[in-house]
């Protein structure tokens, strides 16, 4: 085969050489003419580019040209062995280094302003545009300012008592493991969890229906008063007509040890680009990384659709403490090896390289990254205790543990997301006669979320905000699809890998 191929190639080369020899004089003459014409055209083109430097129509071409001149200069410098690019390398470099910088500063300010305006932060967008107004020659800044002024005239202030709230637990990544690995746990996940596929469809449909994420702190703001009772004031959320604000929250984003074998993400981490993402440790010990749970999935979605979030709002994350936070085993029980549940001991056995201090340091970083990214953090009690049923004494012991062992890691919060959704009060307004409310108020908690399937349910008290939440989970979708239909079409999002019927409580 090889010989034959060489023969064929040799034959082809010979034919080409013969054809070349047969080239007539007039062909050579034509070639010289074409080359000459091309050279003249190139000179004319180059002259045109130089003379049209300041004309608006050629601006982009010109800046590209200047950028490539600068790049060539840098390459030449490297090739000649001189590592330092100095300013006195010739006028070409000096010109090219100033123009594109102005252009790119204007372009990046415009991009930023567009993104701010898309997330309804019009005033910030305007101030960004005004800072570069005099430098922009394209007219785009003026055009955007006019557009923003028009949109601002149409804005409608949201009625904060009409804002719904939906919540999720950790999302199921591997449905076959979650639903079939263990019978009792599988039934529980089928009731209270949502799959990745369902979540993605829900967010897309909510976006299509003009829903916009807002935060609890955007809904209302708490201010201290001299007598210590404090005051809660309704927030101003201004949206274009037709846009519908909603709040989202996540319960128990702890990646509990008991869930390890069941096909969920196992940790929230910060990747090498500084972005929040998930680690998923599989049952064979291998680890994969990516968007496997609500935080990175929603981050990805908002990145793609900035108009899904009001000024960067994401959701509130409810955290217990007994098993650590975000998948880090930060509770002292892990360090002291005290009071460990069997699944926690198994987790320790599986992770002989566990470093308590390192987990605490990582969890702190993740908490700040979450806040930076628009997420709010909330207490969910230390031991996932029913705050209504618990005695006052046990309620205090549990909450003091949370403040001592969790708040020290995740930072201060003023949000309570009730475990089991059970509120310390009735539907009537909280008063200081309610000793659990009084205790929570005294310890800096002013935002309270229970579970209520009547959406919306919002109570603006004198010194607190209370909101009911609806669970977008298997139980609710299967038994009460109508209660979710304002948000999405349950028959479309429902994951057909769920064993049916979804078990009742």
Name the site residues for Zn ion (rule: CB under 5 A). Answer: 251-252, 419
Give, for 207, the enclosing helix (H) or strand (E). Answer: helix 196-208
Report the residue number, 93 or 379, with the smaller CB distance to Zn ion: 379
Taking the complex as a whole, the smallest distance from the CB of residue 242 to Zn ion amounts, in Å, to 34
Residues 450, 465 contacting (CB under 8 angstroms): no
Report the residue number, 252 or 473, with the smaller CB distance to Zn ion: 252
Report the residue number, 173 or 387, with the smaller CB distance to Zn ion: 387
| Structure token pair of residue 493 | 């999002």
Rounded Cα distance between 70 and 76, Å, is: 10
Taking the complex as a whole, the smallest distance from the CB of residue 269 to Zn ion amounts, in Å, to 22
Report the residue number, 327 or 419, with the smaller CB distance to Zn ion: 419
| Structure token pair of residue 57 | 């129509």
DSSP 307-346: GGBGGG---EEEE-STT-BTTB--SHHHHHT-S--HHHHH
- Find tokens 């299967």 and name the residue: 478
Give the β-pairing of 276-281 and 267-270: antiparallel
Taking the complex as a whole, the smallest distance from the CB of residue 169 to Zn ion amounts, in Å, to 7
Taking the complex as a whole, the smallest distance from the CB of residue 138 to Zn ion amounts, in Å, to 53
CA distances from 170 to 46, 181, 199, 268, 363 (A): 61, 17, 10, 11, 17
Sign of the C-alpha dihedral computed for residues 405, 411, 412 and 413 taken in this order: negative
Q: Where are the alpha helices (DSSP H) in 351-391?
A: 356-372
How remote is the C-alpha of 118 from its chain's centroid? 16
Report the residue number, 198 or 251, with the smaller CB distance to Zn ion: 251
**What residue number has its CB nearest to Zn ion?**
251
- For residue 440, which of 377, 388, 478 has the smallest C-alpha distance? 388
Taking the complex as a whole, the smallest distance from the CB of residue 384 to Zn ion amounts, in Å, to 6
Report the residue number, 103 or 252, with the smaller CB distance to Zn ion: 252
Report the residue number, 99 or 386, with the smaller CB distance to Zn ion: 386
- For residue 417, which of 456, 393, 370, 452 has the smallest C-alpha distance? 452
Rounded Cα distance between 485 and 491, Å, is: 10
Taking the complex as a whole, the smallest distance from the CB of residue 292 to Zn ion amounts, in Å, to 19
Residues 244, 252 contacting (CB under 8 angstroms): no
CA distances from 399 to 71, 84, 253, 404 (A): 60, 60, 18, 8
| Structure token pair of residue 482 | 């109508």
Taking the complex as a whole, the smallest distance from the CB of residue 316 to Zn ion amounts, in Å, to 13
Taking the complex as a whole, the smallest distance from the CB of residue 149 to Zn ion amounts, in Å, to 46
Report the residue number, 103 or 251, with the smaller CB distance to Zn ion: 251
Rounded Cα distance between 194 and 180, Å, is: 15
Report the residue number, 254 or 266, with the smaller CB distance to Zn ion: 254
Taking the complex as a whole, the smallest distance from the CB of residue 419 to Zn ion amounts, in Å, to 5
Residues 148, 122 contacting (CB under 8 angstroms): yes
Report the residue number, 66 or 416, with the smaller CB distance to Zn ion: 416
Taking the complex as a whole, the smallest distance from the CB of residue 216 to Zn ion amounts, in Å, to 17
């Amino acid at each position: 085969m090889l010989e034959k191929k060489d023969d064929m190639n040799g034959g082809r080369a010979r034919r080409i050489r013969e054809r070349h020899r047969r080239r007539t004089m007039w062909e050579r003459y034509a070639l010289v003419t074409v080359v000459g014409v091309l050279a003249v055209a190139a000179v004319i083109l180059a002259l045109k580019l130089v003379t049209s430097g300041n004309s608006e129509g050629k601006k982009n071409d010109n800046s590209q040209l200047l950028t490539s001149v600068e790049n060539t200069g840098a390459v030449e410098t490297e090739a000649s062995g001189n590592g330092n690019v100095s300013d006195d390398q010739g006028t070409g470099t000096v010109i090219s280094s100033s123009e594109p910088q102005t252009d790119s500063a204007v372009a990046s300010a415009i991009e930023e302003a567009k993104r701010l305006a898309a997330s309804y932060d019009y005033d910030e967008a305007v101030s960004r545009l005004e800072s570069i107004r005099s430098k922009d020659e394209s007219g785009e800044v003026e055009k955007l300012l006019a557009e923003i002024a028009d949109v601002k005239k149409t804005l409608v202030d949201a009625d904060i008592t009409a804002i719904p709230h939906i919540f999720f637990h950790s999302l199921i990544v591997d449905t076959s493991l979650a639903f079939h690995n263990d019978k009792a746990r599988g039934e529980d996940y089928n009731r209270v969890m949502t799959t990745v596929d369902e979540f993605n469809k829900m967010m897309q449909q909510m976006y299509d229906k003009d829903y916009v994420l807002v935060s609890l702190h955007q809904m209302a703001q708490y201010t201290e008063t001299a007598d210590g009772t404090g005051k809660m004031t309704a927030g101003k959320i201004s949206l274009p007509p037709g846009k519908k604000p909603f709040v989202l929250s996540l319960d128990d984003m702890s990646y509990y040890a008991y869930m390890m074998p069941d096909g969920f993400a196992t940790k929230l981490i910060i990747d090498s680009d500084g972005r929040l993402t998930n680690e998923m440790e599989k049952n064979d010990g291998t680890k994969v990384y990516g968007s496997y749970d609500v935080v990175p999935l929603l981050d990805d979605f908002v990145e793609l659709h900035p108009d899904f979030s009001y000024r960067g709002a994401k959701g509130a994350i409810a955290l217990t403490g007994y098993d650590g936070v975000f998948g880090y085993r930060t509770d002292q029980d892990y360090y002291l090896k005290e009071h460990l549940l069997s699944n926690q001991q198994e987790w320790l056995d599986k992770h002989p390289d566990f470093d308590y201090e390192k987990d605490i340091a990582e969890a702190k970083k993740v908490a700040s990254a979450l806040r930076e990214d628009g997420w709010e953090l909330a207490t969910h009690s230390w031991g996932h205790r029913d705050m209504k049923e618990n005695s006052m004494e046990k309620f205090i012991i549990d909450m003091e543990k949370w403040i001592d062992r969790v708040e020290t890691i995740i930072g201060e919060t003023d949000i309570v997301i009730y475990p089991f959704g059970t509120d310390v009060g009735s539907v009537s307004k909280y008063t200081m006669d309610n000793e659990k409310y009084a205790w929570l108020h005294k310890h800096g908690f002013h935002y309270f979320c229970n579970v209520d399937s009547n959406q919306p349910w919002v109570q603006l008290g004198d010194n607190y905000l209370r909101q009911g939440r609806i669970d977008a989970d298997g139980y609710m979708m299967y038994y009460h699809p109508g209660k979710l239909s304002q948000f999405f079409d349950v028959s479309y999002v429902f994951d057909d890998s769920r064993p049916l019927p979804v078990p009742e409580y």
